[in-house]
């Protein structure tokens, strides 16, 4: 079994609720491509969407969603304005 699959299985087994954060689209120069993703739990992260401020904001938003009783659509502001939609 390859190490990526083993890492994913170990992460999923060791965490409670998990949020999937995925790059839905890009514009201009970006550190990661559309479809790049990371998994976020209350205490751990697996993967990256490119690092930096955007990733920190995405982790914070994902963790807020983990503790929210609501499920369904959500929208988050992109750095520099505009809305980014997703699901919870």
pLDDT of 49 over the 70 cut: yes
The span from the CA of 32 to the CA of 7, in Å, is 20
The whole-model pTM stands at 0.77
Range of the domain at 21: 3-87
pLDDT of 37 over the 80 cut: yes
Domain count, the chain: 1
The span from the CA of 59 to the CA of 84, in Å, is 15
Q: What is the mean pLDDT of residues 42-58?
A: 94
pLDDT on residue 35: 93
């Amino acid at each position: 079994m390859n190490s990526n699959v083993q890492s994913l299985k170990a992460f999923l087994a060791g965490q409670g609720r998990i949020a999937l954060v995925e790059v839905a689209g890009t514009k201009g120069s970006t550190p990661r491509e559309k479809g790049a993703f990371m998994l976020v739990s209350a205490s751990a992260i697996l993967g990256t969407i490119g690092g930096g401020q955007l990733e920190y904001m995405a982790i914070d938003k994902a963790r807020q969603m983990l503790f929210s009783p609501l499920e369904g659509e959500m929208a988050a502001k992109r750095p520099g304005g505009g809305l980014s939609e997703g699901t919870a």
